[in-house]
Amino acid sequence: MKKRIYQVGFLLILFMCVFSQYSIAQTMVKGSVSEANGDPLIGASVTIKGKLTGTVTDINGNYSISVENSDAILVFSFIGFTTREEKVGSRQKIDVQLSASTEGIDEVVVVGYGTQKRQSVTGAVAQVSGEELLKAPVGNITSKLGGLVSGVVALQQSGQPGSDGASILVRGSEAKYIVDGIERSFSEIDPNEIATVSVLKDASSASVYGLDANSVVIVTTKRGRVADSKISFTASYGISDNAVMLEMLDGPGYAYWYNKAREMDGDEPVFSSEHIEKMLNNDPSDGWGNTNWYDETFGIGNNLNLNMNATGGTEKIKYFVSLGNYQQEGNVEGFNYDRLNLRSNIDASIAKNLTLTFDIAGRIEDRKRPGYSATPGDWNNIPQQAMRAHPYVPMEIDGIPVSTRTASSYVNPLAASALTGYSNVKTNILQTNLALKYNVPQVKGLSLKFMSAYDVSYQTSKSFSTPYFTKIATLPTAATKDISYVYTHDARGPNTSLVEGLSHYSILTTNTSVNYENSFGDHNISALGLIETSQQDGNKFGAYGYDFDILDLDELDFATLDEKNNVSGSSYVKRKAGFLGRLNYDYKRKYLAEASFRYDGSYVFGGMIKGKRWSPFPAGSLGWRISEEDWFKNSINNVDNLKLRGSIGLTGKTDIDPYYFLSTLSFLEDPALVINGTGLSGLMTSKPANINLTWAKALQYNLGFDLSMWNGLLGAEFDVFYKYVYDMLGSVSSTYPDSYGGYVFGYANENKQDHKGFELVLTHRNKIGDFSYSIGVNGTYTLRRWLKYGDSPNTPDWLKVTGKEVGSQIGFIALGLFQSQEEIDNSPLIVGKDVRVGDIKYLDRNGDGVISYEQDRGYTGKSSYPKFVGGITFNADWKGFDLSMLWQSGLGRDVALTGVYSSGIMDNTSMTRPFYHGGNSPVFLLENSWREDNTNGEFPRLSLVPASSNNAYSSTFWYRSGDYIRLKSLQLGYTFPVKWMRSFGADNLRVYVEGQNLLTFSELEKYNIDPEQPGVSNGYYPQQRVISTGIKLTF
């Protein structure tokens, strides 16, 4: 099959070359392009319809272009103006005026495997320009889409350099990412390279991409055009700090609340007034201090962004080349990220009717961190140490770092950042596209195209863990009265260790297509046929070494503890293929229809049963531009465009690792057979196969309308959608009785969900004299539910997943805090869990008189992903000054201060139990805890030694509203007059200041907690507030 596809591609290239030798005479056409008031339009695009040939107007609005014959049609376009077409005929001079169109129905929108005018789109498609993405500090662009594009939820839970991207959902589902026609990640692309980002949100637009394409994000990079060469240089520098800073107890505060907690437990205080005086005397020699470890750990970082690009071309060859460098120095010592981006996009007319496109993009990513990480789930991570370190000690004594004890280790976040070694990951990525397109002269509108893409990635990692010595403080007791220290190595032990890894993958993608586009009177038709293949090969290798006599020789050859040294490795191959057919039809640009059919196959599923490995994905959509009807025009004024549209389609997703259609084997722990006294290993089936596994599918419906009024002064888009997801792949082991002995297949197509909601977009653009502005408001509501899940039959209804919101958080229902012993005596309790006045009281959901883990837990909390996301954009220009801002919001979500850890265990966090894990505490928790003098306290009883783990369970008591509104970005710029810059030999100079995450409004503000923090957190790297200044110079 694959060989045949390559043969088809080769024959197509040969066919192009054979028919590319025709040539005819050229005619020169000249003219000017201006606004309705006569002012020249500088840089307006003038192209030949259906060709790559084009030019742009000069500073006086003039142009000249060569055409093949009198049938040629010139297309005149400029951003913010209505596109106009003129047939050349016998004319050699064509002057045109373009009228302002702020709504953009003639905007070209990138869709699957092509482009369409906005007025012809019948699916749910949103598009944002690269210029919009640049109106904020440059970095990972995933975090910029939320609030900017309707339907997109972006949740950013880290600010760590190189790991500060957002997780994205489109209408409740993960998206497939396409960059320049190929499936690729886009998060680390330099925003200066991006022309547009399109989001295909319904099945009729997204299903053409087949596998895992419930929705699609398409990134199109910039290309050259016929114009003089332009070189642009952009530079910006900014500083960063935590967008929200936790307030932890200082030394005297710790002493006060620690003594108070002991008093509540019936114990004697350990901190005295003399101790507090020593904390404040600024003399570390006595062993006391007053250190704000959190503030000392999270300081000020900086960002540097540089980009230089060049664009231009002739009718024969056009180019866009870009070189960029982005550097992040984190506000925690040792965390850095350095990215180098290179891109070259070339379009060439190599023969008559034959064009070649060659793109190459390279990226070098260098991520560095200390020996300890900042990942929330990692042991003793640095943000966790910053929260837990005791504040009553100095940072160091006689140059030796000071650590304080916690329940499982001792901590010093500053030493953990500076003295623990390093972990470096370097990634080198090369991406290439090569395409040939042949316009068949014998058949008008017919073109053939072959594209091949080859991507390769090499990643090396090296982690060198070096111990350091520290003085460990021991808290005074009622008996010892004073602080003491022990000198020893840090919590990881005395051994050095080195871990090195290497991973590599390559992806070869081919795309062979036939496209036909033509008009027959008032009937317009386009058709696409396509064959696509993809193969990915990869391997991983890792090696471990322990004990190094000379730390400067951090190479595996110098590891001395041979018995612990180890190596590991693996490899994989992934293959998939697909076929696509699509037909578009419209009558008078008024009645619109589209139908598509994708047929994909994946290696993830077996081919033993027909219809399991290969799956069809049909889709269709209709549109009616009701504003083009004569009766509408005659009866309703001021409506520029009103289009009704609807779609239905099927999409598919794999959702699991490959080869579950095969039985898996594992080695027996004991010898299977003994021969001559020697035990021989044996294998047994660990998981039986499920040969019926197939794709999860989503049947999607969408209805919507697009409206523009008063020549674009008001624009509106509205969509309602419903997505029925069935045959979802899920684990089924728990649905079988114990009598099976666990001998059941791992996954089956059992589960079902539905996602439903609506989207609204409102826009207003206007120009008053020299002042122009635009306002955009968008909002998306999505409700996700489990319609069916593999629940155990004996599970209580409230503990079953079926019927619950997707992402719901599990826990007990809390009824507040016990206020008296009598209330405790007359209330159901968790068996074996003692409680005291001020502890949490739970609801007995099944009424059996006790609170039990098995019968009274349930799904009670909202998802961490918001149900409603919205954004407000504002842009303004006045006499060279420009202002832009983006407000972002997320509503209908919960943040769990404590809950279920990733291991499945429920426990407290530093946000919910005072002095949790033997560490420090945030101020809000102590000040608002229940005490005899504060019986209305928000949090449970202040205690060092709780009566039991009663308060540690996930419950509604610990859920807080995660709703927020955030000023995501703000930019103010000034562009110097062109006539000033011409005298210096430049075309344009713009300077600007900008900020990101400048303001946040949330209920969690009173705790100094970021609303996008990870749930159940004991410390993480917060989102960053960035303030930058920059310059853009064009020659």
Residue with tokens 């749910």: 124
Residue 742 binned pLDDT confidence (cut-offs 50, 70, 90): low
Task: Tell me how far apart the alpha carbons of residues 255 and 279 are, in angstroms, rounded to a whole number.
Answer: 10
From 162, 189, 149, 239, select the one nearest 1026 (Cα to Cα). 239
Residue with tokens 């606004």: 35
What was the pLDDT predicted at 6? 45
Burial class (CB in 10 A: 0-12, 13-18, 19+), 134: buried
What was the pLDDT predicted at 177? 95
What was the pLDDT predicted at 101? 61
Sign for the CA dihedral angle at 13, 16, 18, 21 comes to negative
pLDDT at 18 over 50: no
From 754, 698, 755, 696, select the one nearest 730 (Cα to Cα). 696
Task: Tell me how far apart the alpha carbons of residues 451 and 356 are, in angstroms, rounded to a whole number.
Answer: 10
Are 789 and 859 a contacting pair, CB within 8 Å? no
Q: What is the pLDDT of residues 798-845, one digit of tens each?
A: 999 999 999 999 999 999 999 999 999 999 999 999 999 999 999 999
Instruction: For residue 802, give Cα distances in angstroms to 114, 209, 503, 797.
Output: 40, 30, 40, 8
Are 891 and 867 a contacting pair, CB within 8 Å? yes
Q: State the DSSP string of 916-985.
A: GGG---BHHHHHTEEBTTBTT-SEEE--SS-SSSGGGS-BGGGEEE--EEEEEEEEEEEE--HHHHHTTT
What was the pLDDT predicted at 705? 96
Amino acid sitting at position 71: D
Three-point CA angle 144, 372, 472, nearest 5°: 135
Structural domain boundaries of the chain?
1-100, 273-603
pLDDT at 243 over 70: yes
What was the pLDDT predicted at 740? 62
**For the residues 572-582, what does the mean pLDDT come to?**
94
**For the residues 113-137, what does the mean pLDDT come to?**
89
**For the residues 908-927, what does the mean pLDDT come to?**
95
pLDDT at 1016 over 60: yes
Q: What is the pLDDT of residues 393-444, one digit of tens each?
A: 999 999 999 999 998 899 999 999 999 999 999 999 999 999 999 999 999 9
Spatial strand order in the sheet of 84-87? 54-56, 45-48, 73-77, 84-87
Residue 14 binned pLDDT confidence (cut-offs 50, 70, 90): very low
Classify 563 as helix, strand or coil: helix
Sign for the CA dihedral angle at 907, 913, 918, 919 comes to positive
Mean pLDDT of the chain: 90
Are 416 and 380 a contacting pair, CB within 8 Å? yes
What percentage of residues in the chain have a pLDDT greater than 90?
A: 68
pLDDT at 165 over 70: yes
What percentage of residues in the chain have a pLDDT greater than 70?
A: 95
Which helix or strand (DSSP H or E) is residue 631 part of?
Answer: helix 630-635
Residue 689 binned pLDDT confidence (cut-offs 50, 70, 90): confident
Region label for 57, one of left (φ > 0), alpha (ψ between -120 and 50) or beta (otherwise): beta
Amino acid sitting at position 275: H
Higher pLDDT, 551 or 194: 194
Which of 397-401, 501-505, 556-560 shows the lowest mean pLDDT across its residues? 556-560
Residue 481 binned pLDDT confidence (cut-offs 50, 70, 90): confident
455: Cβ contacts below 8 Å, ≥ 6 apart: 182, 184, 429, 430, 431, 432, 506, 507, 509
Residue 52 binned pLDDT confidence (cut-offs 50, 70, 90): low
pLDDT at 24 over 90: no
**For the residues 887-906, what does the mean pLDDT come to?**
86
Residue 71 binned pLDDT confidence (cut-offs 50, 70, 90): confident
Phi first, then psi: give them for residue 42, nearest 5 degrees: -85, 125
Indicate the DSSP class of residue 19. Answer: T
What was the pLDDT predicted at 746? 78
**For the residues 38-60, what does the mean pLDDT come to?**
78
CATH class name, domain 1-100: mainly beta
204: Cβ contacts below 8 Å, ≥ 6 apart: 122, 123, 124, 594, 596, 619, 620, 621, 647, 648, 649, 702
Which helix or strand (DSSP H or E) is residue 787 part of?
Answer: strand 771-788
Full-model pTM: 0.87
Higher pLDDT, 125 or 81: 125
From 125, 160, 129, 162, select the one nearest 144 (Cα to Cα). 129
What was the pLDDT predicted at 228? 83
pLDDT at 554 over 80: yes
Are 951 and 840 a contacting pair, CB within 8 Å? yes
Residue 347 binned pLDDT confidence (cut-offs 50, 70, 90): very high
Which of 337-346, 359-368, 507-516, 599-608 shows the lowest mean pLDDT across its residues? 599-608
What was the pLDDT predicted at 661? 86
What was the pLDDT predicted at 16? 44
**For the residues 918-941, what does the mean pLDDT come to?**
96
